[in-house]
A and B are shown apart, each in its own frame.
Chain A
Amino acid sequence: GDSVTQMEGPVTLSEEAFLTINCTYTATGYPSLFWYVQYPGEGLQLLLKATKADDKGSNKGFEATYRKETTSFHLEKGSVQVSDSAVYFCALSDRSTGGSYIPTFGRGTSLIVHP
């Protein structure tokens, strides 16, 4: 079945540091890819997405590029802020054998940013 693998956290950074959170996937079809963010006590919010190879999703300074050749969708940000502290989830949507699209999430990576 499909799966999403994220680097284990927590990732601890100082403010203004560069962020990379690795995400790789396995899928039987041609999935769409997502990054979601979850702040403490809240539900997940979409951060960015990409639907085809070489697409770059971007939002709020975060970027990720859909790399089909390496089955990866790594999240990057050039300069993190304390307010970016949250849990980040990589996810995909792939067509199941029944024809519907099934969402699959990674286990999440906690990011802690210190002032």
Chain B
Amino acid sequence: DSGVTQTPKHLITATGQRVTLRCSPRSGDLSVYWYQQSLDQGLQFLIQYYNGEERAKGNILERFSAQQFPDLHSELNLSSLELGDSALYFCASSPTRSHFGNEQYFGPGTRLTVT
């Protein structure tokens, strides 16, 4: 158990809808990372927040947005969903601002299915 929790575990929704995925980092970790894992794209970094502020941005679509709250939990919002958004979404946390040389602790993931 990494100490990172994600809810829900599974989510099934229809195209065009909007969903929110939630992540609680390990106690004391200030950084939260979001990833998308799909069969054709592999594991793609989406975005990082550090202590409430956006720190780094990867291949995140404009339809997707995220935020980190004062209690350090984070939410990833996915809107106008398309079939291609079906994937496993991971959250990871770390105690540091920089990813260089530092371990990330991954949650168990949220499986999103868009029908």
Number of interface residues of A (CB under 8 A): 26
Complex CA distance for A100 and B49, rounded to whole angstroms? 11
Chain B residue numbers with a CB within 8 Å of A36 are 106
Given that A43-B109, A98-B56 are contacting pairs, would A103 and B45 also be in contact in the complex, using a CB cutoff of 8 Å? yes
Main secondary structure on chain A at its contact with chain B? strand
Chain A residue numbers with a CB within 8 Å of B24 are none
CB of B43 within 8 Å of the partner chain = yes
Contact B100 A32 (CB under 8 A): yes
Nearest residue, chain B, Cβ from A41: B108
Contact A93 B101 (CB under 8 A): yes
Q: From residue 40 to 81 of chain B, which have CB atoms closer than 8 A to chain A?
A: 42-45, 48, 55-56, 58
Complex CA distance for A93 and B27, rounded to whole angstroms? 23
Q: From residue 46 to 102 of chain A, which have CB atoms closer than 8 A to chain B?
A: 46, 49, 51, 89, 93, 95-96, 98, 100-102
Chain A residue numbers with a CB within 8 Å of B4 are 43
Contact B100 A51 (CB under 8 A): yes
Q: Which of A49, A96, A107 contacts B101 (CB 8 A)?
A: A49
Contact A100 B55 (CB under 8 A): yes
Complex CA distance for A32 and B33, rounded to whole angstroms? 17
Nearest residue, chain A, Cβ from B6: A43
Known: A93-B101, A105-B45, A107-B42. 14 other contacts (CB 8 A): A32-B99, A32-B101, A34-B103, A41-B108, A43-B2, A43-B90, A43-B109, A44-B92, A93-B100, A100-B56, A105-B42, A105-B43, A105-B44, A106-B42
Contacts from B to A (Cβ < 8 Å): 2, 4, 33, 35, 42-45, 48, 55-56, 58, 90, 92, 98-104, 106-109
Contacts from A to B (Cβ < 8 Å): 31-32, 34, 36, 41-46, 49, 51, 89, 93, 95-96, 98, 100-108
